[in-house]
A and B are shown apart, each in its own frame.
Chain A
Amino acid sequence: MTMQALVQVLASGLLTGLIYGLVAVGLSLIFGLMDVVNFAHGEFLMLAMYATFGLVMVSGLDPVVLMPLVAALMFVLGGTVYVGVVRFAMRARANQGMVQIFATFGLATLLQGVAQYLFTPDYRSLSNSWLGGKTLDLGGIFLPWPQIFGALVSLAAFGGLFLLMTRTDFGRALEATREDQGAVALVGIDCNRVFALGWGLGAALVGLAGAVLAVFYYIHPGVGGAFALIAYVTVALGGFGSVFGALAAGLIVGLVEAATALILPPSLKSVGVYALYLLVVLVRPQGLFGRL
């Protein structure tokens, strides 16, 4: 293998990895906040892709411009899902773990149905973005612009998230609620409000990821499944609840996937990721950056 090929693999792996981190971070955030695994996370992503698609169709604007609007819509959706579904799942006195799994799984199926109803099961793609189909040529290393853009959005999102968590009252409330719900209630922070905002934030982040992916990936009602699995692996690898674990694990997953594709047939590219995940979790059950 030439040096150039290796650099190519590394570079594409890094770009993909940053996008995976962005796909996963919302899931990790919500889990860290309230110990809930959202089994509709992939469908959130799918909806964000369709939202981008739909808005482009209606407005004729470039998907890049519409990205903030998609994130905002997803924020509202996330908050609504908390208030309308998850809040009730949290109240279950028996089998809470299973209620959470199946309430969000039911939601996932319902959202798939909604997408199929509105957009049919056909595969769609956006071809009219100014990013579409363009590649950057760095001395023989080819990097597609949509992926570069996605990676930049991811970095910006993680930077913003870092500022939000450390510099704002909301971020501190979020952190405090993660530490100790009971104490937080005592100092007068409304947990339900923090949770709803947390779900909004988590959904907005996966919304950004969806808007990014919509530019270069096929859009269909089942698209969430594949990404959801990567998100679970990423979150478990980085450590449930660890926001920056998600970023690091996303990068690792992207790189390992790219490296596996060199050795094994492309259809087996995820096997390397799964194997790595299992190895890590067996040695460090809490993941790379998780707390037990």
Chain B
Amino acid sequence: MAGTTITAAPTGSLPLDESARRFTAKRRRSLYVGAVVFAALAALPYAIRDVYLQNVLVLTLLYAALSQSWNILGGYCGQISLGHALYFGIGAYATSILFVNYGITPWAGLGLGAVIAALVALAIGWPCFRLGGHYFSIATIVIAEAGLLLVQNWDFVGGAMGVQWPFNPDAWATLQFAQDKVPYVHLALGLFVATWLVTYGVAESRWGYGWRAVKDDPAAAQSLGVEVFRSKMAAAAISAFFTAIGGGLYAAYVSYIDPESVMSFRFSLLFALPAVLGGVGTLWGALVGAVILIPITEISRSYLGGTGSGIDLIFYGALVMIVSLARPEGVLSLFKRTRKARNAEI
């Protein structure tokens, strides 16, 4: 291709219309694929009646949703937050405290937690988005860790002891289902679909273009009229909003939370991981990453980790290391590569 001067591209309106048509077709195809995948996932828990596997499914979908939320800020906008456990914790605690202390339905807690988390994200972003690269990531770690410390020492929210949800009969109003995990599968799936739709809609909008431009080159982005700071703030707020809803659902699912189990640094990394493994800044990366990662994690923990021998950690660590080294662009890029290769052969 080097030094190509054959710029006499086919003129006329054909390529323009052709490109527009192909673009629309591609977008519509994504939606169809989404509809099929989501329908299949919704039906899956009826096929798997095993409670253990249903639990794996709930966690997989929940992590997919959380990672998709992280992906909005980290993958699309390129701001590598390693403090999303804070927003997760805010959601989990808002939902739990409202329900346990005041008897208010968890649905309200989900909404309140999401709004608080979005506001906190804006408050954090306002000073921190002036920091570049590693400095931003470290600042997010420290802020989340400070939040964890404060919650541990805040008696009103149960301090280090945490919050235990009371036992309730199964009901959608309380999000309590002791008999059956299928509703939780659908709740987690619902959250993933919501984050997927937001990503789908935003990716090809003014914001989405702005985010990706900011990720690739902020200086060039602002020279083209992109409000870099505002773009980052919007991405952070949306990302935190959905992460908090995930936290609330998780609290309802496990019925018991304490600071370490919802706000520790590990979670911040775990939220990012599926998207990174699957392919950051892509529509399907988070789900693909979660589908690979979470079942392996859970199953290896059950079969290898029970004895506390550490083999599950060795296995998991090696997996994360090898996949991130072998596929910097994420697992999804494998398919792209083969499709391109196939096209080249034709």
Chain A residues near B (Cβ < 8 Å): 31, 37, 85, 88-89, 92-99, 101-103, 105-117, 120-121, 221, 225, 229, 232-233, 235-236, 240, 265, 267-268, 270-271, 274-275, 277-278, 281-282, 285-287
Q: Which of A94, A96, A221 has the most CB of B within 10 A?
A: A94
The reply to whether B309 and A116 contact each other, CB–CB distance below 8 Å, is yes
A-B contact count (CB 8 A): 153
Q: B213-262: which have CB < 8 Å to A?
A: none
Question: Is B142 located at the chain interface by the 8 A CB criterion?
Answer: yes
State A221–B314 Cα separation when bound (angstroms): 12
State A223–B127 Cα separation when bound (angstroms): 31
Binds A, one of B15-23, B28-36, B54-62, B146-154: B146-154
Which one of B141, B320, B329 contacts A102 once the chains associate, using CB atoms below 8 Å? B320
Chain A to chain B: the 3 pairs with minimum beta-carbon distance, closest first: A116-B310, A113-B313, A110-B317
The reply to whether A281 and B131 contact each other, CB–CB distance below 8 Å, is yes
Q: B287-345: which have CB < 8 Å to A?
A: 308-322, 324-325, 328-330
Given the known inter-chain contacts A95-B276, A236-B138, A285-B132, please indicate yes or no for A107 contacting B310, CB distance below 8 A: no
State A233–B144 Cα separation when bound (angstroms): 13
Chain B residue with Cβ nearest A109: B317
The reply to whether A102 and B276 contact each other, CB–CB distance below 8 Å, is yes
State A270–B144 Cα separation when bound (angstroms): 13
Chain A residue with Cβ nearest B145: A229
Chain A residue with Cβ nearest B269: A105
For A116, what are the chain B residues with a Cβ–Cβ distance below 8 Å? 308-310, 313
Question: Is B143 located at the chain interface by the 8 A CB criterion?
Answer: yes
The reply to whether B314 and A110 contact each other, CB–CB distance below 8 Å, is yes
The reply to whether B276 and A98 contact each other, CB–CB distance below 8 Å, is yes
A121 to chain B, nearest CB (A): 5
Question: Is B193 located at the chain interface by the 8 A CB criterion?
Answer: no
For A94, what are the chain B residues with a Cβ–Cβ distance below 8 Å? 328-329
State A275–B142 Cα separation when bound (angstroms): 9
Task: Jot down 21 A-B pairs with beta carbons below 8 A, ordered by A.
Answer: A37-B137, A85-B321, A98-B272, A102-B276, A102-B320, A103-B324, A105-B320, A106-B320, A109-B313, A109-B316, A113-B312, A114-B310, A121-B310, A235-B138, A265-B153, A268-B150, A270-B145, A270-B149, A274-B149, A278-B139, A285-B131
The reply to whether B329 and A95 contact each other, CB–CB distance below 8 Å, is yes
Question: Is B187 located at the chain interface by the 8 A CB criterion?
Answer: no
The reply to whether A113 and B317 contact each other, CB–CB distance below 8 Å, is yes
For A232, what are the chain B residues with a Cβ–Cβ distance below 8 Å? 138, 141-142
A106 to chain B, nearest CB (A): 3
Question: Is B134 located at the chain interface by the 8 A CB criterion?
Answer: yes
The reply to whether A98 and B134 contact each other, CB–CB distance below 8 Å, is no
For B273, what are the chain A residues with a Cβ–Cβ distance below 8 Å? 102
Given the known inter-chain contacts A271-B146, A274-B145, please indicate yes or no for A97 contacting B325, CB distance below 8 A: no
The reply to whether A113 and B265 contact each other, CB–CB distance below 8 Å, is no
Q: Is the interface of A mostly helix, strand, loop or mixed?
A: helix
Question: Is B206 located at the chain interface by the 8 A CB criterion?
Answer: no
For A37, what are the chain B residues with a Cβ–Cβ distance below 8 Å? 134, 137-138
State A274–B140 Cα separation when bound (angstroms): 11
Which one of B142, B265, B311 contacts A233 once the chains associate, using CB atoms below 8 Å? B142
State A115–B314 Cα separation when bound (angstroms): 9
A202 to chain B, nearest CB (A): 16
The reply to whether B134 and A31 contact each other, CB–CB distance below 8 Å, is yes
Given the known inter-chain contacts A117-B310, A229-B145, A233-B142, please indicate yes or no for A285 contacting B135, CB distance below 8 A: yes
A116 to chain B, nearest CB (A): 3
Chain B residue with Cβ nearest A98: B276
B296 to chain A, nearest CB (A): 13
Q: Mark B149-178, 1 if CB is under 8 A from A, else 0.
A: 110110000000000000000000000000
In the complex, given contacts A102-B272, A114-B310, what are 18 additional A-B residue pairs having Cβ atoms less than 8 angstroms apart?
A98-B74, A98-B280, A101-B82, A106-B317, A106-B319, A110-B313, A110-B321, A113-B310, A113-B312, A116-B313, A267-B149, A267-B152, A268-B149, A270-B146, A274-B143, A278-B142, A281-B135, A286-B135
The reply to whether B324 and A285 contact each other, CB–CB distance below 8 Å, is no
For B153, what are the chain A residues with a Cβ–Cβ distance below 8 Å? 265, 267-268
The reply to whether B146 and A114 contact each other, CB–CB distance below 8 Å, is no
For B42, what are the chain A residues with a Cβ–Cβ distance below 8 Å? none
For B314, what are the chain A residues with a Cβ–Cβ distance below 8 Å? 110, 113-114, 117
Chain A residue with Cβ nearest B130: A285
Question: Is B133 located at the chain interface by the 8 A CB criterion?
Answer: yes
The reply to whether A117 and B309 contact each other, CB–CB distance below 8 Å, is yes
State A278–B269 Cα separation when bound (angstroms): 21
Question: Is B80 located at the chain interface by the 8 A CB criterion?
Answer: yes
State A97–B272 Cα separation when bound (angstroms): 13
The reply to whether A282 and B127 contact each other, CB–CB distance below 8 Å, is yes
The reply to whether B317 and A107 contact each other, CB–CB distance below 8 Å, is yes
The reply to whether A102 and B311 contact each other, CB–CB distance below 8 Å, is no
State A286–B316 Cα separation when bound (angstroms): 35
The reply to whether B313 and A229 contact each other, CB–CB distance below 8 Å, is no
Q: Which of A92, A96, A109, A240 has the most CB of B within 10 A?
A: A109
State A101–B141 Cα separation when bound (angstroms): 13
State A111–B319 Cα separation when bound (angstroms): 13
The reply to whether B310 and A88 contact each other, CB–CB distance below 8 Å, is no
The reply to whether B131 and A98 contact each other, CB–CB distance below 8 Å, is no
State A93–B327 Cα separation when bound (angstroms): 10
